[in-house]
């Protein structure tokens, strides 16, 4: 009778379990699954301890890195698109001078470069803008003022030396011509912190100075609209040196 009673009890428990499994509750099923996993975690199979399956944790850092890379690439593409729009506007503004061969607009890996022959900007040996060229430069400044790109203004000369009280060498002449254009840009609304003026004298020729045509091409002012994104500066500290042996 005792054995029969145990048998009936086991049958009752079996049917209760079968009934509970017939209506699966997802939350309870997960609790049951976790409990069984914990209970059977240390069961030895064929004399070896069977370990639970390891689930690789998510990689939030890698996902954040990929997302940051995509955002950076999207920002670069937006800057390239804005740069192309700026180049189109500059070509429209300088169209008459471009047709005459006095101005060249070139797109490079750094951005857009506007190369202006100095014959339409300055008199020989001078750094005062001509009235006609002043209007053209103000039109260029109006195109650049609403943008946020850094602007580098470069002054270039040929290799014929100059020696006057105002300009002892071509270095001073090229630098003052660049700063003259810079001041006009500031007066026209371009933010001063975006502007840089550099004088290169005759050290960056684009043609040979052996003939008059090459020298005329080398006497120029170049306006570089830089598309590069400024990076945060990081100070480099000195590494500690080991004490000298005594």
For the chain, domain boundaries: 64-226
Q: Does 64-226 carry CATH code 3.30.1330.60? A: yes
Instruction: Quick: pLDDT tens for 116-130.
Output: 998 899 988 999 999
Residue that wins the pLDDT comparison between 120 and 76: 120
| DSSP labels, 105-164 | EEE-SSEEEEEEEGGGTB-TT--SB-HHHHHHHHHHHHHHTTS---EEEEEE--SS----
Residue 235 pLDDT > 90: no
Query: For all residues of the chain together, what is the average pLDDT?
Result: 82
The owner of tokens 């254009």 is 181
Residue 212 confidence class, pLDDT cut points 50, 70, 90: very high
Residues 6+ apart with CB under 8 A from 217: 117, 206, 207
Does pTM top 0.85 for this prediction? no
Instruction: Quick: pLDDT tens for 173-197.
Output: 999 999 999 999 999 999 999 999 9
């Amino acid at each position: 009778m005792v054995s029969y009673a145990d048998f009936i009890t086991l049958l009752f428990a079996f049917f209760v379990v079968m009934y509970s499994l017939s209506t699966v509750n997802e939350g309870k099923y997960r609790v049951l699954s976790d409990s069984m996993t914990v209970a059977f975690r240390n069961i030895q199979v064929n004399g070896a301890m069977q370990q639970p399956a390891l689930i690789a944790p998510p990689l939030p850092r890698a996902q954040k890195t990929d997302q940051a890379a995509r955002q950076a690439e999207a920002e670069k593409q937006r800057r390239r698109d804005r740069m192309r729009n700026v180049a189109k506007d500059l070509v429209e503004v300088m169209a008459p001078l471009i047709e005459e061969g006095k101005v060249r607009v070139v797109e490079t890996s750094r951005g857009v470069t506007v190369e202006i022959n100095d014959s339409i900007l300055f008199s020989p040996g001078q750094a005062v803008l001509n009235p006609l060229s002043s209007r053209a430069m103000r039109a260029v400044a109006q195109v650049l003022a609403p943008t946020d790109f850094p602007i580098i203004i470069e002054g270039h000369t040929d290799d014929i030396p100059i020696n006057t009280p105002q300009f002892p060498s071509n270095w001073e002449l090229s630098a003052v011509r660049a700063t003259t254009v810079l001041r006009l840009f500031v007066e026209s609304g371009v933010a001063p912190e975006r502007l840089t003026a550099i004088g290169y004298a005759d050290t960056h020729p684009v043609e040979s100075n052996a003939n008059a045509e090459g020298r005329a091409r080398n006497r120029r002012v170049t306006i570089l609209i830089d598309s590069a994104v400024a990076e945060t500066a990081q100070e480099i500290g000195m590494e500690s040196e080991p004490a000298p042996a005594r």
